[in-house]
Amino acid sequence: MKQRHIGIIMNGVTGRMGTNQHLLRSLCAIRDEGGIKIQPDEVIMPVPILVGRNPEKLNELSQRTGVEKWTTDLTTALADPDFPVYFDAQTTNRRYDAIQQALAAGKHIYCEKPVTETSSQAYELYQQAREKGLKNGVVQDKLWLPGLLKLKSLIDDNFFGRILSIRAEFGYWVFEGDRMPAQRPSWNYRQEDGGGIILDMFCHFSYVLESLFSPVQSICCLGARHIPQRVDESGKTYACTAEDAAYATMELQGDIVAHINASWCVRVRRDDLLVLQVDGTEGSAVAGLHKCRCQSYDQTPQFVWNPDEDKPTDYYDSWTEMPDAKKYDNAFKKQWELFLRHVTLDEPFPWTFREGAKNILLAEKALDSWQNKTWMEIPQLKK
C-alpha cells in the first residue's frame, strides 16, 4: 500500500484534549488503522511531531504512543519542511501568537476552538491564511456525535414539520478541588487565562445551532459565578474570576427559539451530559451525545392538567429510540480525516477560521448581553 505521508506539528499536545482526543483517539488511531484510504492502493499517513513546554511529559507521551519526534522548540519545528501542517491545542490565550508564527512559516493550520480569545483576531487570522493560500480549520467535533447525527437525519426527513423551539441542557458538577479532585483545569475558572463557560461552550452551541437549524440572530444571556473560589492543581485556593454557568435565550432565523442552560454547578438528572430537545408541529426529539429519541404527532399523548391527582404516568413510554444506522467513529477523528483530505486532495472543508470567528462572536455577544442586561443582535461577518 502506497503511503502519502503528511507531517503534523502538534503544539500543546500534552494537555487533556490534545493527548486523548487529538493524538490517541485521532492521529494514532488513524495510523494504527493503516491510514486514510484515498485510492484502492494509497493512503494518507499522518506523521506527528509533539511540541510542548515540558520535556518530561513529551518524552513520556512519545514512549506511550510510539511517536518518535518531539521538541520544546516550536520555531525549529516550524522550520521543518517535512511538517506542512500546524495543529494548536494550547490554552486559548497562547493560540493567537503561535498561529501567527505558523502562518509566517507557511503552514496549513488546524486548531482547537476557540481559535483565539476574540472574534476579530480569529477573522484576522482567516484573512491572513486566505491571502497566503493556506488551508485552515477549527475543531467543531459535536457535529459528528452519534446523537446529533441521528437528530440531523430527522431534520433532513422533515420529521418535525415546522421547527418551533430548541431546549438544551449542558453540564455537570465540577468539584471544587478541596474535598474531591477537580475534573477540569483551574484556568477554566480564571477570566484572565481565557476561562469561562461562555467562551468555552457557546462556540459549540453556535455551530451546532447553525449547522442543524439556522444561524442565531440575537441573544439574551445571564452568566453566573456560582462557586466563588476553587483549589488549583498545586493545592492553592484561588478566586474564580470567570463564570461557571450561563442561561441564554436565542432567536434563530426562521422564527425558531432556542434556550440553553450551561453549568459546571449542576447535578445530572437527565439522559446525558448534553441534551437537546427539538419541538416541531409534527413531532419532537430529544438527542444526547449518543442516543436520540423521538415522538411523532400520532404518538403524542393527550395530557390533561390536573395537579390534584398523582397519576402513575411514565412520560418516557411514548418515545421511540432511534437505532444505530451504522458504526459511529470518534468525532474528533472524523474531522481530522476530513481536514487531512482537504490539505492533501483539496477536498471541501467548510469549517474555516471564519466559522471559528462566528462561533466566538456568539460568545462575545452573550457576554455583552450579560454585562448590559439586554438583548444583543448578532452581526454577519464578511466572506
Kindly state whether residue 325 falls inside one of the protein's structural domains: no
Kindly state whether residue 321 falls inside one of the protein's structural domains: no
Flag residues of the chain having pLDDT under 50: none
Predicted pLDDT of residue 312:
85
Kindly state whether residue 283 falls inside one of the protein's structural domains: no
Predicted pLDDT of residue 1:
84
Predicted pLDDT of residue 311:
79
Kindly state whether residue 96 falls inside one of the protein's structural domains: yes
Kindly state whether residue 154 falls inside one of the protein's structural domains: no
Predicted pLDDT of residue 313:
87
Kindly state whether residue 274 falls inside one of the protein's structural domains: no
pTM equals 0.94
3-state SS record for the chain = CEEEEEEEEEECCCCHHHHHHHHHHHHHHHHHCCCEEEECCEEEEEEEEEECCCHHHHHHHHHHHCCCCEECCHHHHHCCCCCCEEEECCCHHHHHHHHHHHHHCCCEEEECCCCCCCHHHHHHHHHHHHHHCCCEEECCHHHHCHHHHHHHHHHHCCCCCCEEEEEEEEECECCCCCCCCCCCCHHHHCHHHCCCHHHHHHHHHHHHHHHHCCCEEEEEEEEECCCCEEECCCCCEEECCCCCEEEEEEEECCCEEEEEEEECECCCCCCCCEEEEEEECCEEEEECCCCEEEEECCCCCCCCCCCCCCCCCCCCCCCEECCCCCCCCCHHHHHHHHHHHHHHHCCCCCCCHHHHHHHHHHHHHHHHHHHHCCCEECCCCCC
Kindly state whether residue 216 falls inside one of the protein's structural domains: no
The whole domain housing 60 covers 2-141+331-350
- We report the CATH number of the domain holding residue 42 as 3.40.50.720
Kindly state whether residue 60 falls inside one of the protein's structural domains: yes
Tens of pLDDT, residues 249-278? 999 999 999 999 999 999 999 999 999 999
Q: How many structural domains is the chain composed of?
A: 1
